[in-house]
Amino acid sequence: MIKKRKIKEAEIPTASMADIAFLLLLFFLVATVIDVDTGIGLTLPEYVPPEEIKEVEVPKDRMAAVLINENGDVLVDGQPTSIFQIKNNLKPRIVSKIDLPSNKKLIVSVKTDRKTNYNPYIQALDQIKLAYFEVRDEYSLQNYGKKFNDLLPEQQDVVKDKIPIIISLAEPEAVKR
Amino acid sequence: MKFEKRRATTKQEIPTASMPDIVFMLLLFFMVTTTLREVEVLVDYKLPEAEAIEKIENKRLISYIWVGSNKRIQINDSIVSLDEIQPIMYAKRQELPNVIVSLRIDRGTDMGLVTDIQQELRKAYCLRINYSANIKI
């Protein structure tokens, strides 16, 4: 006589699967760092050995010299101003040079002392960048009816070409070490 | 008269069979987006605040330099001196030609030190930099 054997269906219990997945999910949620890196971007000039440095004359009306001393006082072209005035000071000058050829655009030169604090320097740089961004936005609104960030890449290039951001970082005088 | 409670004959359960799938999908998303913190920051710093802030689109290109409030400079996992910056950064640049150097500098640092670091970066041809700053509200 053959015994009839009922074959049990082989199954892996999946009830706890969700719990396990949740646990893993929790781990990754906790471990994730979602701090987007934000900051002020800049491109440094290439290094030139001191003996090869060539002095290039730049016409005065092309330059906007921003000087920050160790107390955080700001001079723009020799005129004392507050840090938060830099933007308003530069904007009309950037606007006036939109239609000029690229070798006549405004150059903003930032110079600090060795003893200057980092914070006012960033504030000043921020103001300069803001001035450029606002001019770009206004120009884009006038010509394309959109803000700079919403433009097509080609249009952005045109605007960038019209309003290039030229910031020159002057080296602090070595004497004051 | 007999009152009978009317009951819906349909099942009143939320189907949970697909729950693991959904959770796994979420899990996968987080696993892919996570960039685990590789380095331990040894210096303490407080970033300056700014408005005209840009995001760095590509996190893999970034290489950090920290400068703490006690003027110590950290690259990777160790505190380095000023002279060591150039060879380290040059090696990094050879690995990753378009490296972006994110400078996380304490807001109280002297500009002298910042410029010295920048000079070293220039010598190492790491020309794309980013002054890390928080958004001013």
Q: Is residue A151 part of a domain?
A: no
Task: Walk me through the domains of chain B, giving residue ranges and CATH numbers.
Answer: 49-135 (3.30.420.270)
Q: Give the DSSP H or E segment for A144.
A: helix A118-144
ipTM for this prediction: 0.73
Q: Is residue A49 part of a domain?
A: no
* pLDDT tens for each residue of chain B, 137 residues long: 677 777 667 777 777 778 888 888 888 888 887 766 667 788 888 888 888 888 877 777 888 889 988 888 888 888 888 888 888 888 888 988 888 888 889 988 888 888 888 888 888 888 888 888 888 77
Q: How far is CA A12 from CA A15, A16, A17, in A?
A: 9, 10, 10
Q: Is residue A38 part of a domain?
A: no
- Which residues are A167's β-sheet partners? A108
pLDDT digits (tens, 9 = 90+) for A68-84: 888 888 888 888 888 88
Question: Looking at the predicted structure, is the pLDDT value of residue A176 above 50?
Answer: no
Statement: the pTM of the whole predicted model exceeds 0.80: no
In total, how many domains does chain A have? 1
Q: Is residue A154 part of a domain?
A: no
Instruction: Give the closest-approach CA distance of A162 to chain B in angstroms.
Output: 19
Domain region containing A119: 59-131+166-176
**Residue A177 pLDDT level (bands cut at 50, 70, 90):** very low
| CB pair distance less than 8 Å for A133 and B20 | no
Nearest to B108 among A22, A117, A126 (CB): A117
Burial of A92 (0-12, 13-18, 19+ CB in 10 A): exposed
Q: Is residue A77 part of a domain?
A: yes
Instruction: Give percent helix, percent strand, percent coil of chain B, each to the nearest 5.
Output: 35, 20, 45
CA–CA distance, B101 with A39 (Å, rounded to integer): 11
Instruction: Give the closest-approach CA distance of A3 to chain B in angstroms.
Output: 37
- What torsion do the CA atoms of A176, A129, B109, B69 make, to the nearest 10 degrees? -170
Termini Cα distance of chain B: 71
DSSP code of A153?
H
Contact residues, chain B, for A31 at CB < 8 Å: 34, 36
